[in-house]
Amino acid sequence: MRISGGEARGITLVVPKGDLTRPATDGMRQSVFSSLGAVVPGARFLDLFAGSGAYGLEALSRGAAGGVFVEQNPRAVACVRKNIEAVCKSLGRDAHDLGVVAADARGVPLGGGAVPDLVFIDPPYEIIPEIAPGLFVKLTEVLAPKPDAIVVFELPGELDLAPPGWTLLKRLGKGARQPTVAFFRRG
């Protein structure tokens, strides 16, 4: 698994061993960031259920100012830290604008970071129906100062989300049991 674009393109990411995470594929991330385009440079991000940190690190490689990674599994947290180090080394920058919060992502902790412009959510697929309603309620509160913030939510193709007060802007991918990504904005 590698960074698929930007200044750190090609940097290999460490992924936790076992079935603890299901990393976003390089192709899916490339499609997501092609769709986000000019929104990414200078943006602050929040990477919930970070796993390896692939979404946030991809944003960083493509010009994001910084952000916070939230992951509760200790082995995955260790991978995120290693990956931050590798990507920052490739970019020739330090990690002062990046935070790692070892916590349950359902609480949408900002870890002392600024309100994000982009929120990446890539939870275990089997818990999405249970957690999505509460996540969107919490996101409505957290993102209140930034009504144009975009939520990028990876989910299986057979699942549809229609959170109250949110608009589905776009959906990438198709097919049952295939990864898809939905882009949401409040309103």
**Looking at the predicted structure, is the pLDDT value of residue 25 above 80?**
no
In a domain, 4, yes or no: no
Distances in whole angstroms, Cα of residue 178 to Cα of each of 17, 33, 65, 100, 156: 22, 19, 31, 29, 5
The reported pLDDT for the residue numbered 111 is: 82
CA angle 117/88/185 to nearest 5° reads 15
In a domain, 81, yes or no: yes
**Looking at the predicted structure, is the pLDDT value of residue 89 above 90?**
yes
When pLDDT is cut at 50, 70 and 90, the band that residue 18 belongs to is low
When pLDDT is cut at 50, 70 and 90, the band that residue 175 belongs to is confident
In a domain, 20, yes or no: no
Residue type at 155 in one-letter notation: L
The reported pLDDT for the residue numbered 3 is: 86
**Sign of the dihedral defined by the CA atoms of residues 6, 7, 8, 10, in that order:** positive
In a domain, 182, yes or no: yes
When pLDDT is cut at 50, 70 and 90, the band that residue 133 belongs to is very high
Query: Is the separation of the CB atoms in 53 and 131 below 8 Å?
Result: no
In a domain, 59, yes or no: yes
In a domain, 179, yes or no: yes
Number of domains the chain is built from: 1
- We report the CATH number of the domain holding residue 147 as 3.40.50.150
In a domain, 116, yes or no: yes
- Beta strands, E only, 62-178: 66-70, 98-101, 118-121, 150-156, 166-172
CA angle 157/4/65 to nearest 5° reads 100
Domain extent at residue 36: 26-186
In a domain, 13, yes or no: no
